[in-house]
């Protein structure tokens, strides 16, 4: 198989690992950085201590001057008054939109306004930084010691990799590798890189605490974490997925050019994001407030622009990655693959709008925690996860049962069900991660349901669970149904074009109705539960449904009779799908059954729909076994015993024939002389066969009987007209007039016999 086009079975797991390590790194790096002041020194204190205890309040007030206390009190009173005014006066939709628009454009406006002082204040931050660490000499000393620590860390990492080189090696050639070999090699290489990074991190932590002071670690920690360790981690994950220099081991559908391009720019994007966090942290630690220069706005905007640029340039490569190599792709998959690059652009632009608006509203807590980066990352990865789901399903779905169109359609249906279930589960996981990033607990919100937002969350979660149950039931029933249909399927050619097949099993007949019933019940139950989670009382709906059902019961008695009749027919196992039946003179193969009627298809094509309530008598020609009797008319002088021996010989030969032996239940044999007619004597033969095979066997028996009669000089009797004319042996003495009279008499006799035969046949 071509590994360059194999689906990425571990993409989702590696992505989750990347995010987890990213968050772990951020937490570790932030633990070394002091709490960022929200305002420059000297401004009024606007943040209350947490937890808000009596001792904490006394301690806060003790640190404040009289002017600060006065400013703080006025600020808090103004906030309370504004809140009361806002709560007492309803805000119109236009006012709300105006407020959001103002909040959206405020960061951009302020960023342009403060652009002239950006570099000046950045110089002040550098000066404060140098002053903190003892001037230029102190900064150079700290950087030198940091470089020494890094060198020791890199050396330890190199020693570790050399020691574990044999463990991660895999004998690979330039030829195409199997998926197992490729994943094994890439995973070992990725694990070795991660373990090397862990060794690097532990060594620089240990040596750094011995060489650097606490103040120096406050700078060196974020520097190394955001600008060195985090980009290297992103490179390891990207190298595992993209394998830029090994197309024979690549787990995604991308050529060398786009694999290298996406790999390089993934590292660049992680580096830019890390630099953004480091720069904001650096300024805040050196006397520059977050909103004073708006440097974070420019760097954050650069991240979004970078994503949009990469998505635009690599449109073809990203679409190929999304498309994958699954041969059972649907038009939906193709459309998603084409739109994925534009989806990435929309997500980046939309997240920029959200961050700008929240920044203008002053809600910076989640933004400072990187919630917008987590949201954007998972939204961008959602389509890629969909590709991973399709790849996993392709390798994990049970193999196809049987052969033929029915088995192939069932296999594709099973795959689509697994894919849909995986999509719902992954969507729920992504929403939980995003909600957690914004400090929203979906489970708690669903349990509490105190507001419209919580009600909507409960509504969506109920629908998701109901959909999984719906697909699970459909998956089980369809797979069992496909197994039954494939095992017992009889083609039209096998039935000799006459119908009358053996039909499916009882399960194959009942399962479609079970599937429809379960689907309807699941939809109704979870639909009502979901509506109830919106805060709507469903009791009137249940009462109305009961009244409606009662009204239908009285007003549609014929419908009820059809449904009840169908239930009892199925309980009695009177017919099954695929069986050949006769319903009041209407014959055909049972092609489809519903809750109130059945459809019979005649072997010439017409389809008859018969309600169960109209069935008075049903004759089943396809149950268990079929006896077919054949008639052969031979001349009166034929020896019946000779014919009997020929029939017995033909029956024995067909039972031994591999093509027909499995279709016989009893061999073909003679039943002796059955009747006499004007032509000859009628000899009958019979055989017992499996339903649906009797017509094919009948054709073959006819062919063999004809051949055997020819070989033994036996002719089939033919209907003849004989005219006996006295004195015909003296025709040479007849005159022409007498000959014409004889011919006319013979012609009249023939016509009379023809009319007699037509009357008998009519």
pLDDT at 558 over 60: yes
CA–CA distance, 380 with 392 (Å, rounded to integer): 20
pLDDT at 372 over 90: no
| Average of per-residue pLDDT across 15-23 | 38
Output the pLDDT for position 268. 93
Worst-scoring range by mean pLDDT, 378-387, 406-415, 444-453, 640-649?
444-453
Quickly state the pLDDT bin for 144 (edges 50, 70, 90): very high
- As given in the structure block, the two tokens for residue 538 are 């469903």
Quickly state the pLDDT bin for 495 (edges 50, 70, 90): very low
In terms of Cα–Cα distance, which of 288, 290, 285, 345 is closest to 314?
345
Output the pLDDT for position 81. 62
Contact residues for 297 (Cβ-Cβ < 8 A; gap 6+): 107, 108, 110, 111, 356, 359
Q: How many helices (H) and strands (E) does the chain have?
A: 26, 8
pLDDT at 289 over 90: no
pLDDT at 288 over 80: yes
| Average of per-residue pLDDT across 489-513 | 55
Quickly state the pLDDT bin for 310 (edges 50, 70, 90): very high
| Average of per-residue pLDDT across 576-593 | 81
Output the pLDDT for position 43. 39
Are 225 and 23 a contacting pair, CB within 8 Å? no
Worst-scoring range by mean pLDDT, 70-84, 498-512, 585-599?
498-512
Output the pLDDT for position 171. 45
Output the pLDDT for position 179. 62
Output the pLDDT for position 490. 45
Output the pLDDT for position 2. 37
Q: What is the pLDDT of residues 504-525, one digit of tens each?
A: 565 666 667 777 788 888 888 8
Q: What is the pLDDT of residues 204-217, one digit of tens each?
A: 999 999 999 888 88
More confident residue, 622 or 462: 462
* Strongest mean pLDDT among 73-87, 226-240, 389-403, 678-692: 226-240
Cis peptide bond upstream of 51, omega within 30: yes
Are 569 and 506 a contacting pair, CB within 8 Å? no
Output the pLDDT for position 727. 56
Domain ranges, ordered by start, for the chain: 3-33+129-385, 626-711, 728-761
Quickly state the pLDDT bin for 49 (edges 50, 70, 90): low
Output the pLDDT for position 3. 37
Output the pLDDT for position 756. 66
| Average of per-residue pLDDT across 129-136 | 88
More confident residue, 589 or 155: 155
Residue 504 phi/psi, 5-degree rounding, is: -90, -175
Give residue 430's region: left, alpha or beta (phi > 0; psi -120 to 50). Answer: alpha
Are 502 and 622 a contacting pair, CB within 8 Å? yes
The answer to pTM > 0.75 is: no
What class is the 626-711 domain? alpha beta
- As given in the structure block, the two tokens for residue 353 are 């709008």
Quickly state the pLDDT bin for 11 (edges 50, 70, 90): very low
pLDDT at 264 over 90: yes
Helix (H) or strand (E) holding 554: helix 539-555
CA–CA distance, 5 with 580 (Å, rounded to integer): 48
Share of the chain above pLDDT 90, in %: 10
CA–CA distance, 414 with 480 (Å, rounded to integer): 11
Quickly state the pLDDT bin for 1 (edges 50, 70, 90): very low
CA–CA distance, 265 with 106 (Å, rounded to integer): 31
For tokens 């399709």, the residue is 390
CA–CA distance, 623 with 640 (Å, rounded to integer): 34
Quickly state the pLDDT bin for 729 (edges 50, 70, 90): low
CA–CA distance, 211 with 487 (Å, rounded to integer): 75
Share of the chain above pLDDT 70, in %: 71
CA–CA distance, 341 with 311 (Å, rounded to integer): 5
pLDDT at 231 over 60: yes
Output the pLDDT for position 518. 82
Quickly state the pLDDT bin for 554 (edges 50, 70, 90): low
Q: What is the pLDDT of residues 470-483, one digit of tens each?
A: 888 877 777 776 66
CA–CA distance, 218 with 34 (Å, rounded to integer): 8
Quickly state the pLDDT bin for 536 (edges 50, 70, 90): confident
Output the pLDDT for position 724. 58
Output the pLDDT for position 637. 84
Tell me what the pLDDT averaged over the chain comes to.
Answer: 76
Output the pLDDT for position 614. 81
- As given in the structure block, the two tokens for residue 751 are 């016509």
Worst-scoring range by mean pLDDT, 165-169, 257-261, 290-294, 454-458?
165-169
CA–CA distance, 342 with 344 (Å, rounded to integer): 5
- Between the CA of residue 15 and those of 29, 197, 311, what are the distances in Å? 21, 17, 19
CA–CA distance, 470 with 520 (Å, rounded to integer): 9
* Strongest mean pLDDT among 67-81, 99-113, 602-616: 99-113
* Strongest mean pLDDT among 200-209, 366-375, 377-386, 496-505: 200-209
- As given in the structure block, the two tokens for residue 529 are 């539960």
Give residue 583's region: left, alpha or beta (phi > 0; psi -120 to 50). Answer: beta
pLDDT at 596 over 50: yes
């Amino acid at each position: 198989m071509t590994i360059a086009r194999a689906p990425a079975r571990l993409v989702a797991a590696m992505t989750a690992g990347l995010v987890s390590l990213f968050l772990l790194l951020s937490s570790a790096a932030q633990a070394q950085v002091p709490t960022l002041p929200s305002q420059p020194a000297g401004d009024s204190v606007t943040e209350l201590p947490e937890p808000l205890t009596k001792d904490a309040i006394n301690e806060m007030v003790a640190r404040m001057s009289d002017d600060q206390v006065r400013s703080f009190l006025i600020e808090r009173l103004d906030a309370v008054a504004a809140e009361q005014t806002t709560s007492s006066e309803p805000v119109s939709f236009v006012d709300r939109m105006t407020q959001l628009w103002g909040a959206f454009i405020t960061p951009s406006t302020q960023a342009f306004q403060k652009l002239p002082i950006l570099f000046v204040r950045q110089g002040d931050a550098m000066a404060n930084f140098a002053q903190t660490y003892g001037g230029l000499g102190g900064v150079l000393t700290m950087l030198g010691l940091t470089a020494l620590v890094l060198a020791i860390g890199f050396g330890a990492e190199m020693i570790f990799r050399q020691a574990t080189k044999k463990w991660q090696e895999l004998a690979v050639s330039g030829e195409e590798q199997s998926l197992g070999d490729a994943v094994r090699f890439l995973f070992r290489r990725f694990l070795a890189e991660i373990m090397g990074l862990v060794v690097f991190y532990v060594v620089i932590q240990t040596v750094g605490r011995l060489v650097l002071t606490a103040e120096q670690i406050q700078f060196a920690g974020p520097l190394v974490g955001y600008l060195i360790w985090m980009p290297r981690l992103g490179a390891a994950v990207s190298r595992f997925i993209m394998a830029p220099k090994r197309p024979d081991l690549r787990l995604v559908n991308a050529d060398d050019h786009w694999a290298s391009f996406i790999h390089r720019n993934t590292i660049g994007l992680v580096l830019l994001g890390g630099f953004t966090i480091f720069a904001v942290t650096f300024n805040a630690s050196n006397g520059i407030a977050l909103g004073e220069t708006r440097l974070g706005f420019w760097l954050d905007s650069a991240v979004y622009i970078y994503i949009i640029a990469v998505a635009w340039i690599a449109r073809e490569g990203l679409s190929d990655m999304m498309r994958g190599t699954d041969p059972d792709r649907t038009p939906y998959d193709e459309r998603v693959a084409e739109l994925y690059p534009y989806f990435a652009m929309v997500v980046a632009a939309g997240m920029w709008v959200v961050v700008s608006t929240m920044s203008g509203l002053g809600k910076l807590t989640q933004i400072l925690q990187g919630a917008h980066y987590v949201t954007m990352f998972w939204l961008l990865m959602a389509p890629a996860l969909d590709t991973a789901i399709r790849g996993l399903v392709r390798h994990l779905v049970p193999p196809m049962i049987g052969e033929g169109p029915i088995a192939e359609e069932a296999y594709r249906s099973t795959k689509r069900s697994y894919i849909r279930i995986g999509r719902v589960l992954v969507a729920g996981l992504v929403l939980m991660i995003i909600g957690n990033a914004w400090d929203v607990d979906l489970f708690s919100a669903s349990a509490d349901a105190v507001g419209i937002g919580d009600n909507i969350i409960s509504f969506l979660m109920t629908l998701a669970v109901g959909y999984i149950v719906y697909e699970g039931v459909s998956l089980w029933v369809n797979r069992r149904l496909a197994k039954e249909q494939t095992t017992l399927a009889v083609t039209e050619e096998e039935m000799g074009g006459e119908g009358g097949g053996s039909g499916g099993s009882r399960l194959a007949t009942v399962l479609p109705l079970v599937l429809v019933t379960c689907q309807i019940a699941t939809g109704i139950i979870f639909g009502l539960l979901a509506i109830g989670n919106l805060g709507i009382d469903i009791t009137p709906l249940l009462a109305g449904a009961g009244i409606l059902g009662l009204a239908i019961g009285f007003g549609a008695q014929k419908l009820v009779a059809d449904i009840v009749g169908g239930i009892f027919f199925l309980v009695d196992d009177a017919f099954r799908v695929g069986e050949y039946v006769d319903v009041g003179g209407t014959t055909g193969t049972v092609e489809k059954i519903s809750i109130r009627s059945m459809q019979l298809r005649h072997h010439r094509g017409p389809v008859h729909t018969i309600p169960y309530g109209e069935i008075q008598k049903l004759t089943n020609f396809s149950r268990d076994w079929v006896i077919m009797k054949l008639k052969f008319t031979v001349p009166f002088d034929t020896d019946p015993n000779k014919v009997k021996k020929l029939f017995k010989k033909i029956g024995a030969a067909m039972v031994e024939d591999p093509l027909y032996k499995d279709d016989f239940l009893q061999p073909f044999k003679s039943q002796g002389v059955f009747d006499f007619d004007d032509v000859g004597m009628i000899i009958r033969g019979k055989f017992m066969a499996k339903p649906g095979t009797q017509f094919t066997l009948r054709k073959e028996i006819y062919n063999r009987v004809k051949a055997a009669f020819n070989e033994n000089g036996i002719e089939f009797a033919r209907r003849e007209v004989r005219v006996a004319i006295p004195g015909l042996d003296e025709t040479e003495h007849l005159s022409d007039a007498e000959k014409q009279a004889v011919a006319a008499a013979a012609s009249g006799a023939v016509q009379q016999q023809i009319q007699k035969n037509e009357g008998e046949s009519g």
